[in-house]
Structure 1
């Protein structure tokens, strides 16, 4: 087997000559800097030697990690990174001397260049290895076109910086990259440079795609693509079919009609992070050459979802218009696979693991098959007998759940979703399981590594009775499920009755494996582990089941990977959910919600999601059987924070809570109405008879079941729409889908649309977002507009935002109304997040991925927070986000490419005597659902 060649990095000198990249020269420059400050006494110092070695490694890593393999670095870029490393390391005197030295040398070079003859024209290396003169006119035209119509951007600034990275013999890829990097470096000073960067990336993409489908070197400007897109689209579909990447059925569409419906101007909507994400992970490619342009991508997905429609072209255009406008976006698996030979379009799969070896290893095999095509997994492990339980076949004792979880963990890593992203699975265990204490420790970095699962997510499946025992400071008994088999399928009063009967049996000595603990002690340990390791998450069994429309057809035994799906599972049924999200920001103005537009969007989106169920490629029969029988979908939302900004509503306010209520009511109303209309057209789902729907019980009505079981009212019940009329339609015509609503994290698709993630508050107003596509500077564009309007946006404000980690709170010259409007996640009391989530939850037949942010956590605060979540009727919670000690980069180097430090995992203060670890924000490995 031939080893892969190591990338060869190069350096562009100031005279445009190119030389090999030599890290030793960085070490020499750093050593000279230390000697200049500390004198010759530092020569030979072990301390200086070690410091220089460490700083050199940091500089090399920063350059090569962010660069494309083998590209050339300009000498100034290397010196920028040296300066950054010195500043980060706290060597401020040395850094100052280094800066002064650079400035002095720059002045000397400027003086010596006076009267020098002009440099000869540069040559560009083409794909076939031949050279041609650099087309300066085209470079200027592409940059000017990228800046067209955008305020606050300068084509000249981009060109000047890009030319620094040009050299004789530069490749076409490097030539395309130079202006992109130049524009990216300016994003922190003007958010519109993100659009410029995206448009410059489009030029690179167009060259790749047109060359591939036309079979000869080709390129085009955005203006030229207005004419060329239709012909390209036909060629693209044919090329994809020929490459065995696109379903041949797409070739039977009227491609001319669809090509004519494309809107090339929508290519200009992208911000850089969104387009780069699509480029890296979504667009079809062969031999690492992308041949799918953005509008072709959206049409390919639309065609894939319209395959079984009667008027396929009309529906494909309808679906395309919704996707390409960013009004709605399908989930990642749908975007990956629609219209391909293996259209696995579903997002989430939920399984129950049986208590026998065949069942356990079948579940692990199913995980692998489901994960291969980008499915996120939730496994219910509660039926598996606990540690010390009797094994009847061998008369031995069980090792419990944990060893099998270790196997499931390693399987998720081995099957990395077809090579597109890390495999992702979440294990659920009920709080009465005898192994619950070991389960809490699974993500710890200490202890026996054979009983740790460092890559698997975990979640507690908490019965109401346990929370009542916590409130009453009562005792709690742990059992092995083989001795209490019916507890797994019971909830509400029936669970209480059976559980108390088993406690009595245990007290009489009629149960072999059990343990009694103080409920509060176990609760505190659950919260401590959640804070230390980020897991297990807290989810609530009873509201998930009491409010389930499908109570008649089974039991909800767990949620999914991101805690928003609540569907029945059993040995014979693997629950499947198909996700997509409405861009709420595209449906509001300063006056509020545009209900007519929202209704149109939701109606079309529900049709698209319903189509997924019939078109889907199922990897296991249990998933197909379940999905076709119940037909659940999960319509959610994103851009909630943007919608608040548009309406000038602070997140921490009653007005925001009210907007959460009213916006979710509208989405719920329109989604249920759309499902009724689909049922009239296509028929109700198979298991509709006997469901809550069939009895006229809608999600807003099912809250009463939880209140009745608990003995107190947890949710607001206000409504504004005509629910009586809708209720009557549901009973008369049925529902097409057993479940309609679920709010997923939207970590990736919100990047594509350029809006805030899901229902999240803004993390910071200036930060670096890290995902599988790299590190990207993110600036709150709405804030910048407001600061500009008040004459406050300048270099000092950028510097202040960096210093205060993207927060306005401590910047005196910012008015209080802007501080309130643009308060970041850790500045908002988390009770506001729960209040808003509670008002949404009353309308949702499934659940929502709700991250909770807490700036200065303590055991008492966490206890109050999660008890509040339970009392307010939430079904689930997701990550607990704690403020990291890492801050954004304080340097204000002009050419730092915006490479602020990404948020990192670091230890905040201790909780209950234990060192704790914060969850990284926007962890690229948490992008499982969307």
Structure 2
């Protein structure tokens, strides 16, 4: 055996090579050198055989390959011949021997084709092998139905460029054995297709179609009470019959609202579009399968189009022509033009239709009120609501308690109880309860509040599972800029600060500072504003919390400031609604899929207008249909009727338009698209007001005074005493719409909010919310497992230039999904497909500012920064405040751990982990210590 030596590794441990026929032979470094030499000579001709340059190149490539192999393989382990050849391709490309690499790739493909042809010929002449037996659920054995197997795979690849049945079938047959169960056979098909996703993104659709075949067998067998299977083509004929049986069975199981049976179910069923089952990618359908589809004893009996129609019927249940509206709603969500939020998808059409996404509360400063608030959290979280709690009123550490003549322990012990309550109420196992605690920056307990997510210190004063956010008044930011002093108070001595904003807050705050200087305040502390600001930024860097949100923009631009105060945002920082002891703010969310409204390289405004009009009606219906778990939520929602229409797929849209995220063009498109959404959302609310009446608290609102979100920026200017650096340009006819708002009124007090959309964007197969692309090739983790994600737009563009090949896949893995270091990719492609950590975060804030001018609520804005430091964070968060943002969300930073550089095959997804009997690798990036990862499966905010 030859023992290769390299400068990097010294003496190399012995290992073996697995040949394609399964035999094992000793590793021989010289064979790599021979293969590489042949590749050079094939390109440069035999005259190059004695060239010193070729000899040196061959030696360098060989050493690089051996070094890479020995790093990956432990002593006495075996390598597969394909792995060795993969490394040769990669080394040739990295050595900038592009022509040689190309020749080597083509040679491998020719040899692979020849082997397939030889195998096919051998199979054709060989005697028929005994048929494999498949075990049914009752234990009986039957021959494998080869005809159906081939038909199902042929259906799965039909119409999808770059896919073929043969590789899926070949990989599947490698994993079959005599006595395989029906479920294992279905899994083998799915997993075989999934291994090909990194080579061709369309295999994500193939995998989804094969999963759907498995789901059909599960659902139809349950509904029919006997083993039943149907192909996609057969289902096209049988979907209507199935749907009618599904509604009946769902009601019998007490899972569906009995009112659904009073629809004209035949008319509804006839409107179902079975072909829309083909729109799913694997991640989306698997997510629905795991968490959304109705089931009995863990057997899913709800097929995808039945799921969408159930949601649509649930939202149309109080419409006059409810069949027509249910069909309209169904057509919108099943096309992925718009998607309802997760609670709506979970619960619409069921016996407990809690459809709202977000609940905001303010916690009073007494023991009864505090524990009532914690109980309310549990009741609201039970049916999938995300929570934002304002804790500013609770007196601070050391404050006097009159009833016991003692001193308060402050807000932190109660936050610990709220934290544990959120974990205890896990939303029926679908996801953990999740809550965010807000505290104003002047609260005496603020410094302890900043430490809540630290992993060190007294664990009794830590809340490891609760999100936290700073509620920052403008006065504090002004003191930071002036390097002034900031005073912390206990709210029992300064209760009115909680309800004051702008100039009135500043005036009253100065009054309390004077009292403190005279010794008339029991609990207070002076700190340097910049020191406190640095500590806030340090905690965001170290723990990801507390988030930084701005009190005054949220209030001064609120349409509802005439009837209350915004005391906090919600779990994901996009909701800005009033709260009080009698009102728990509720918001009902849904998101437009922006990518679906960009066609032929243009933004389709007419399609968007149709989408928004229907979507706003659906969201408004939620308010009346909703199942309210506490009376304060019902009171608030019916009085103000707020909804939050958002968007997702922004990254996909600009990819289609070929616009780099880090560009003025992307900022302009963010402005243009949000203006169109805002215009149509407000217009739709006016139309609903004309049909159904104004919301009860309309009079006195900014709407009633003709002040639209764009106009409200002036109110912020006046309060700050400077012109806020927000763009004021517009494209549409706002004057006529403004007049309609005043004369006709609004159906909804608030109309827009951009939520994170992590799960519903997965369902639709687009990038979440307004997020830049995390990576162009990576493994995404959520509660359904680990999934290979490839940027299909990038693959399309690389294919058009002849650049998409195995070497490119390997390079993308090696460079953590980034194109930056891959020399053969043109610069314009690199710019369009730059990833989140390659983009200057100021572009994200600029685009967010353009959106914020149109939005009556806020947006979940993550900030990405590859190498954060104090100066950068200070500049970014000050920029966010200066440009008029209302809130920010997570700070996301790189760590030393990036995407797995070895193959993704065999490590992709929950199903694979289960079938292999091992835990699947999850090569996910990790933030700075304790910060939320891009897809934290336990984080409700990411779902």
Query: Which residue in 1 is equivalent to 2:912?
Result: none
Q: Distance in 2 between matches of 1:487 and 1:210?
A: 61
Shift of 1:919: 3.5
Residues 777 and 900, structure 1, Cα contact 8 Å, conserved in 2 = no
Residues 892 and 927, structure 2, Cα contact 8 Å, conserved in 1 = no
Q: Distance in 2 between matches of 1:88 and 1:728?
A: 71
The 1:158/1:929 distance shift into structure 2, 3 A limit, reads closer
The 1:497/1:895 distance shift into structure 2, 3 A limit, reads closer
Residues 748 and 927, structure 1, Cα contact 8 Å, conserved in 2 = no
Q: Show the 5 A alignment for 1:336-375.
A: 336-375=346-385
Q: Distance in 2 between matches of 1:469 and 1:195?
A: 54
Matched, 1:557 2:567: yes
Q: 2:934 aligns with which of 918, 921, 929?
A: 921
TM-score by length of 1: 0.88
The 1:532/1:95 distance shift into structure 2, 3 A limit, reads farther
Residues 198 and 788, structure 2, Cα contact 8 Å, conserved in 1 = yes
The 1:904/1:810 distance shift into structure 2, 3 A limit, reads closer
Query: Which residue in 2 is equivalent to 1:749?
Result: 760
What are structure 1's unaligned runs of at least 5 residues? 1-33, 39-85, 908-915
Query: Which residue in 2 is equivalent to 1:94?
Result: 75
Q: Distance in 1 between matches of 2:550 and 2:896?
A: 31
Matched, 1:642 2:652: yes
The 1:524/1:103 distance shift into structure 2, 3 A limit, reads closer
Q: Distance in 1 between matches of 2:941 and 2:136?
A: 39
Q: Show the 5 A alignment for 1:901-920.
A: 901-905=922-926, 916-920=929-933
Shift of 1:902: 2.6
Deviates more, 1:644-653 or 1:873-882: 644-653
Residues 641 and 756, structure 1, Cα contact 8 Å, conserved in 2 = yes
Q: Show the 5 A alignment for 1:377-388.
A: 377-388=387-398
Q: Distance in 1 between matches of 2:817 and 2:333?
A: 31
RMSD: 2.2
State the secondary structure of the residue aligned to 1:748. Answer: helix
Q: Distance in 2 between matches of 1:347 and 1:88?
A: 50
Q: Distance in 1 between matches of 2:656 and 2:309?
A: 30
Shift of 1:691: 0.5
Q: Distance in 2 between matches of 1:785 and 1:326?
A: 21
Residues 464 and 540, structure 1, Cα contact 8 Å, conserved in 2 = yes
Q: 1:673 aligns with which of 656, 674, 683?
A: 683
Shift of 1:884: 2.3
Matched, 1:795 2:797: no
Q: Show the 5 A alignment for 1:74-93.
A: 90=71, 92=73
Query: Which residue in 2 is equivalent to 1:494?
Result: 504
Query: Which residue in 2 is equivalent to 1:836?
Result: 847
Matched, 1:410 2:431: no
Query: Which residue in 1 is equivalent to 2:738?
Result: 727
Shift of 1:131: 1.2
Query: Which residue in 1 is equivalent to 2:49?
Result: none
Shift of 1:95: 7.5
The 1:462/1:896 distance shift into structure 2, 3 A limit, reads closer
Residues 348 and 929, structure 1, Cα contact 8 Å, conserved in 2 = no
Query: Which residue in 1 is equivalent to 2:751?
Result: 740
State the secondary structure of the residue aligned to 1:924. Answer: coil
Residues 69 and 84, structure 2, Cα contact 8 Å, conserved in 1 = no
Query: Which residue in 2 is equivalent to 1:758?
Result: 769
The 1:487/1:894 distance shift into structure 2, 3 A limit, reads closer
Query: Which residue in 2 is equivalent to 1:580?
Result: 590
The 1:175/1:553 distance shift into structure 2, 3 A limit, reads same
Q: Show the 5 A alignment for 1:257-296.
A: 257-296=267-306
Matched, 1:121 2:131: yes
Kindly provide the CA deviation profile for residues 757-804 of structure 1, in whole angstroms up to 9, marking residues without a partner as x.
000010000001100000000000000010000000001000000000
Shift of 1:165: 1.6
Kindly provide the CA deviation profile for residues 429-480 of structure 1, in whole angstroms up to 9, marking residues without a partner as x.
0000000000000000000000000000000000000000000000000000
Query: Which residue in 2 is equivalent to 1:856?
Result: 867
TM-score by length of 2: 0.87
State the secondary structure of the residue aligned to 1:551. Answer: coil
Q: Distance in 1 between matches of 2:314 and 2:515?
A: 57
Deviates more, 1:300-309 or 1:586-595: 586-595
The 1:862/1:103 distance shift into structure 2, 3 A limit, reads closer
State the secondary structure of the residue aligned to 1:553. Answer: coil
Q: Distance in 1 between matches of 2:546 and 2:211?
A: 40
Query: Which residue in 2 is equivalent to 1:7?
Result: none
Matched, 1:460 2:470: yes
Kindly provide the CA deviation profile for residues 76-125 of structure 1, in whole angstroms up to 9, marking residues without a partner as x.
xxxxxxxxxx9999454638744469999xx9xx9xx9999764211111
Residues 884 and 903, structure 1, Cα contact 8 Å, conserved in 2 = no
Kindly provide the CA deviation profile for residues 672-717 of structure 1, in whole angstroms up to 9, marking residues without a partner as x.
0000010011000000011111101100100001111112222010
Shift of 1:167: 1.3
Query: Which residue in 2 is equivalent to 1:230?
Result: 240
Q: Distance in 2 between matches of 1:886 and 1:407?
A: 34
Q: Distance in 2 between matches of 1:100 and 1:133?
A: 34
Matched, 1:318 2:339: no
The 1:652/1:249 distance shift into structure 2, 3 A limit, reads same
Q: 1:823 aligns with which of 820, 834, 856?
A: 834
Residues 639 and 750, structure 1, Cα contact 8 Å, conserved in 2 = yes
State the secondary structure of the residue aligned to 1:925. Answer: coil
The 1:97/1:208 distance shift into structure 2, 3 A limit, reads closer
Residues 657 and 835, structure 1, Cα contact 8 Å, conserved in 2 = yes
State the secondary structure of the residue aligned to 1:302. Answer: helix
Shift of 1:886: 1.3
Q: Distance in 2 between matches of 1:920 and 1:89?
A: 31
Q: Distance in 1 between matches of 2:339 and 2:78?
A: 51
Q: Show the 5 A alignment for 1:431-510.
A: 431-510=441-520
Query: How many positions carry a matched residue from both structures?
Result: 838
State the secondary structure of the residue aligned to 2:487. Answer: strand
Q: Distance in 1 between matches of 2:350 and 2:801?
A: 51
State the secondary structure of the residue aligned to 1:767. Answer: strand
State the secondary structure of the residue aligned to 1:566. Answer: coil
Kindly provide the CA deviation profile for residues 559-597 of structure 1, in whole angstroms up to 9, marking residues without a partner as x.
000000000001110000000000011111244321111
Q: Show the 5 A alignment for 1:54-203.
A: 90=71, 92=73, 94=75, 97-99=78-80, 119-203=129-213
Query: Which residue in 1 is equivalent to 2:95?
Result: none
The 1:680/1:860 distance shift into structure 2, 3 A limit, reads same
Query: Which residue in 2 is equivalent to 1:773?
Result: 784
Residues 788 and 904, structure 2, Cα contact 8 Å, conserved in 1 = no
Q: Distance in 2 between matches of 1:917 and 1:253?
A: 50
What are structure 2's unaligned runs of at least 5 residues? 1-11, 17-66, 86-114, 910-919
Deviates more, 1:207-216 or 1:866-875: 207-216
Q: Distance in 1 between matches of 2:525 and 2:71?
A: 53
Q: Distance in 2 between matches of 1:919 and 1:347?
A: 20
Query: Which residue in 2 is equivalent to 1:701?
Result: 711
Q: Show the 5 A alignment for 1:522-537.
A: 522-537=532-547
Residues 567 and 575, structure 1, Cα contact 8 Å, conserved in 2 = yes
Query: Which residue in 1 is equivalent to 2:55?
Result: none
Q: Distance in 1 between matches of 2:584 and 2:722?
A: 34
Q: Show the 5 A alignment for 1:873-888.
A: 873-888=884-899
Q: Distance in 2 between matches of 1:95 and 1:650?
A: 48
